[in-house]
């Protein structure tokens, strides 16, 4: 089955649709990330967060997740996160640090 909303990894076009799923701290994070350029560390880190939480790496064309599409899958992933908004933001900050470290290593080479 083909779903036009299904991509290989979490698409950044979906980020704004995740805003109202949680509280104020999460909404502020989504607002800040949405305002950044597409190639920013912020958007890369946010994508890495959702990919990690949602298991995008193991999704394939025949999976139930792929049939639902990336928008629906990521919305469910964010809604079902059992931690607090603060924990989600902390995970994002960890991803951001990881991306910055990776880019710094690449720049050194």
Q: Is the pTM of this model over 0.85?
A: yes
Distance CA 68, CA 95 (A): 26
What is the pLDDT confidence band of residue 61, given thresholds at 50, 70 and 90? confident
Q: Are 36 and 43 in contact (CB under 8 A)?
A: yes
Residues whose CB is less than 8 angstroms from the CB of residue 12 and which lie 6 or more positions away in sequence, other chains included: 38, 43, 46, 47
Over range 29-43, report the average pLDDT.
97
Q: Considering only CA atoms, which of 68, 70, 37 is closest in space to residue 53? A: 70
Tell me: pLDDT of 88 over 70: yes
Classify 40 in phi/psi space as left (phi over 0), alpha (psi -120 to 50) or beta.
beta
Confidence bin at 2 (pLDDT 50/70/90):
low
Structure-model confidence comparison of residues 89 and 109, the more confident one: 89
pLDDT for the residue 46: 97
Whole-number percent of the chain with pLDDT over 70: 97
Predicted pLDDT of residue 93: 98
């Amino acid at each position: 089955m083909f779903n036009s909303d299904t991509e290989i990894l979490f698409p950044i076009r979906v980020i704004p649709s995740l805003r109202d799923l949680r509280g104020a701290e999460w909404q502020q994070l989504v607002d800040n990330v949405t305002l950044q350029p597409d190639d920013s560390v912020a958007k890369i880190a946010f994508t890495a967060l959702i990919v990690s939480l949602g298991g995008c790496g193991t999704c394939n064309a025949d999976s139930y997740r792929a049939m639902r599409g990336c928008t629906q899958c990521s919305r469910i992933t964010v809604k079902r996160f059992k931690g607090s908004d603060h924990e989600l933001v902390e995970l994002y900050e960890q991803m951001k640090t990881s991306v910055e470290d990776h880019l710094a290593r690449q720049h050194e080479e």
